[in-house]
Structure 1
Amino acid sequence: MSEKKPNVWDGFKAFLMRGNVVDLAVAVVIGAAFTNIVNSVVKGVINPLVGAIGTKNLDNYSSCLKDPCKVVNGTVQSGIPIMWGTVLGATLSFVITAAVVYFLMVLPMSKYLARQEARRKAKEGTHEIIEVTELEVLKEIRDALVAQRGSGHDER
């Protein structure tokens, strides 16, 4: 009998059925929803706080390389503006996202995994002690049997 070659469809099904693909899909969906929350925090909280110093919209912060600079609704009308406020807003969004992900997801998960590893090592340590103890007992039994044979209790 000839062996059936795996076809592309079977390989694709096997790929999709792996757990990490499903985990990745869930992460993308959650990440997309989380992005909306972070953007809302930046626009609703951070921008007004920065607005207490200057403008409420970080996108309005810019510098001009060639005067006169005029930007209307994100479209350059004249000059060469450097829109550093937009970069600042995106950076704040990134930092907030990274902080929330780290403190609410990564840090608790790493602490949980460290506890699980410590429990596993403690359990393995207990088994090692039991195994060593059993080995010691077996050696003692062997030594006792050898001693019995050597003291004339050998029955032939």
Structure 2
Amino acid sequence: MTEKKESVLAGFKAFLMRGNVVDLAVAVVIGAAFTNIVNSLVKGIISPLVGAIGTKDLNKYQSCLKAPCRTNEAGDVVTGVPILWGSVLSATLTFVITAAVVYFLMVLPMAKYLARQEARRKAREGVQETMVITELEVLKEIRDLMAAQRGGEQSGGRTGAPV
């Protein structure tokens, strides 16, 4: 029974130590911190710009599905069925801005960086392959010259091939 517990614990430890789990945990922490920045951007800049047509708070935009919609002093709905489309719009804007910032400030630069690294690696490999091919060609020429010299000496003279 202890063997089974050890194997389960060992499997759990192996799962946690895999790179993608650690990367995911880091991404969640960074994402949580980044959310505050984006929310502030939406609340402080985007919402007032969109709200220039009406109210500054997008969450106040609503329609009444079943009229009349009335609220009490605390803001709770007393009658009617309100549809709070302003909060959906606000959340959508937050998502789009978050996605755009992540793409343009993180994904795109990282993709360009990785493409440059790959191009450098291929260029280095290309130079090394060229050097290997050149060395092989030189070695083949030396072999051919030595074979020609041996063949010429065996027949009684030199062939005149340069050394």
Structure-1-length-normalised TM-score: 0.86
Shift in CA distance, 87/146, structure 1 to aligned 2, threshold 3 Å: same
CA offset at residue 78 of structure 1? Answer: 2.1
What amino acid is the match of 2:151? Answer: G
What amino acid is the match of 2:40? Answer: S
5 Å matches for 1:116-135? 116-135=117-136
Whole-angstrom CA distance in 2 between matches of 1:104 and 1:71: 43
Question: Equivalent residue of 1:111, what SS?
Answer: helix
Name the structure 2 match of 1:55: 55
Contact 1:148/1:154 (<8 A) preserved: no
Q: Which has the larger radius of gyration?
A: 2
Range 70-79 or range 115-124, more displaced: 70-79
What amino acid is the match of 1:35? Answer: T
Gaps of 5+ in 1: none
CA offset at residue 22 of structure 1? Answer: 1.7
5 Å matches for 1:2-151? 7-70=7-70, 75-151=76-152
The sequence identity of aligned pairs, in percent, is: 73
CA offset at residue 13 of structure 1? Answer: 1.3
Map Cα deviations across residues 108-129 of structure 1 (whole Å, 9 max, x no partner). 1111111111110110000010
* CA root-mean-square deviation: 2.3
Range 130-139 or range 75-84, more displaced: 75-84
CA offset at residue 33 of structure 1? Answer: 1.3
Range 80-89 or range 92-101, more displaced: 80-89
Contact 1:62/1:82 (<8 A) preserved: yes
Contact 1:50/1:56 (<8 A) preserved: yes
Map Cα deviations across residues 42-89 of structure 1 (whole Å, 9 max, x no partner). 122222222221011111112222211235667543222222111110
Shift in CA distance, 145/154, structure 1 to aligned 2, threshold 3 Å: farther
Gaps of 5+ in 2: 157-163
Contact 1:67/1:80 (<8 A) preserved: yes
CA offset at residue 103 of structure 1? Answer: 1.2
Aligned length: 152
Shift in CA distance, 154/75, structure 1 to aligned 2, threshold 3 Å: farther
Shift in CA distance, 79/153, structure 1 to aligned 2, threshold 3 Å: same
